[in-house]
């Protein structure tokens, strides 16, 4: 059984991820790092925090992109851009992009 998270009025970090809500890009989503995934798909690549998106993991960032995408093609394109940026920053290896893109494209 998972932990029960309680959110208190005036709590500066509602999701208890170490980033205060005013700076947190994903303020209501606790970070539970496992593997990067989308929907029911697990890409088999370890998830991590996105440096320029305080309080967001890669999986959470993909969810945010999905919420703003008009269609599947736009989502896949935006995720590819995110992964390329992470690769340029040295945070992802080139061989890790494919499994993540496949998860997004198939779901």
pLDDT digits (tens, 9 = 90+) for 71-103: 999 999 999 999 999 999 999 999 999 999 999
Residues 56-84: what's their mean pLDDT? Answer: 94
pLDDT digits (tens, 9 = 90+) for 11-48: 777 777 778 878 888 877 777 778 999 999 999 999 98
pLDDT at 3: 47
The three-state (H, E, C) secondary structure of 20-54, written as one string: CCCCCCCCCCCCCCCEEEECCEEEEEECCECCCCC
What's the pTM?
0.79
* The predicted structure's pLDDT at residue 100: 96
Q: Count other Cβ atoms within 10 Å, centred on residue 69.
A: 16
Nearest Cα residue to 47 out of 57, 60, 56: 57
């Amino acid at each position: 059984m998972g932990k029960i998270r309680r959110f208190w009025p005036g709590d500066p970090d509602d999701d208890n991820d170490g980033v205060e809500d005013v700076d947190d890009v994903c303020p209501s989503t606790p970070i539970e790092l496992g593997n990067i995934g989308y929907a029911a798909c697990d890409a088999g690549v370890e998830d991590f925090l996105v440096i320029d998106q305080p309080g967001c993991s890669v999986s959470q960032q993909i969810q945010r992109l999905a919420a703003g995408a008009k269609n599947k093609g736009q989502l896949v394109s935006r995720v590819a851009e995110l992964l390329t940026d992470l690769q340029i920053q040295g945070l992802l290896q080139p061989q890790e992009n494919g499994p993540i893109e496949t998860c997004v494209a198939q779901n």
